[in-house]
């Protein structure tokens, strides 16, 4: 089964994220962050947490599956990987793609918190063209798993994202 062509490009919509940040913060409080040295996440205060227990994300995942089903009714998705990033002043993401998951997958980014001054634009590349979007709280970005993307350094404050990759089932 292949993804429909409508998922071959970047899409961003605002969604209701009420309670999502609190759930993620609660889950990460007893977790150890991963070493970001060899990851796209950069910044001396950046922290990244990988969720290996998808059961703890079951209720939250349903919210995202609901939105994906509204946007792409011809497809069914299953969570393949999940992580959250807490970035502070000067944090950014090098250009990268989520290519460690099955090719027949999508990547998503949800902004749970953004700084008030400089949020650090999300930059992505499609067919050698560069696009950017300014993050805002509740922005849900959906992209092909192999889309090259990164962020500019952010200003003071917290930029927190929830990153969920889904495979087509």
Using only C-alpha atoms, what is the Rg of the chain? 15
- Judged by DSSP in three states, 10 sits in coil
Q: Which pLDDT does position 4 carry in this prediction?
A: 40
DSSP 8-state symbol, 148: E
Half-sphere exposure at residue 118, Cβ-oriented, CA atoms within 13 angstroms: 12
Contact 51, 82 (CB under 8 A): yes
> Cα 144 to the chain's mean position, in Å?
12
Residues in the chain with pLDDT values less than 50: 1-6
pTM metric for this prediction: 0.91
What the block records as the tokens of 118 is 């400089």
Q: In order of start, what are the domains of the chain with their CATH numbers?
A: 5-168 (2.60.120.620)
Summarize pLDDT for 65-105 with one digit per residue, the tens.
Answer: 999 999 889 899 999 999 999 999 999 999 998 866 567 88
Q: Which pLDDT does position 100 carry in this prediction?
A: 65
What the block records as the tokens of 8 is 């071959």
Q: Which pLDDT does position 102 carry in this prediction?
A: 66
Q: Which pLDDT does position 5 carry in this prediction?
A: 40
The dihedral formed by the CA atoms of 113, 78, 75 and 64, expressed in degrees to the nearest 10: -20
Instruction: Report the 3 state secondary structure along 47-104.
Output: EEEEECCHHHHHHHHHHHHHHHHHHCCCCCEEEEEEEEEEECCCCEEEEECCCCCCCC
């Amino acid at each position: 089964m292949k993804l429909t062509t409508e998922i071959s490009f970047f899409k961003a919509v605002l969604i209701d994220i009420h309670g999502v940040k609190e759930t993620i913060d609660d889950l990460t409080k007893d977790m150890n962050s991963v070493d970001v040295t060899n990851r796209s996440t950069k910044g001396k205060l950046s922290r990244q947490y990988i969720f290996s227990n998808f059961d703890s994300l079951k209720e939250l995942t349903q919210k995202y599956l609901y939105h994906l089903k509204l946007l792409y009714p011809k497809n069914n998705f299953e969570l393949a990987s999940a992580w959250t990033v807490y970035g502070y002043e000067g944090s950014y993401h090098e250009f990268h793609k989520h290519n460690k998951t099955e090719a027949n997958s999508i990547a998503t980014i949800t902004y749970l918190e953004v700084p008030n001054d400089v949020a650090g634009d999300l930059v992505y590349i499609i067919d050698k063209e560069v696009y950017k979007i300014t993050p805002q709280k509740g922005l849900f970005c959906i992209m092909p798993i192999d889309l090259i993307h990164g962020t500019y350094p952010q200003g003071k404050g917290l930029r927190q994202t929830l990153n969920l990759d889904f495979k087509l089932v």
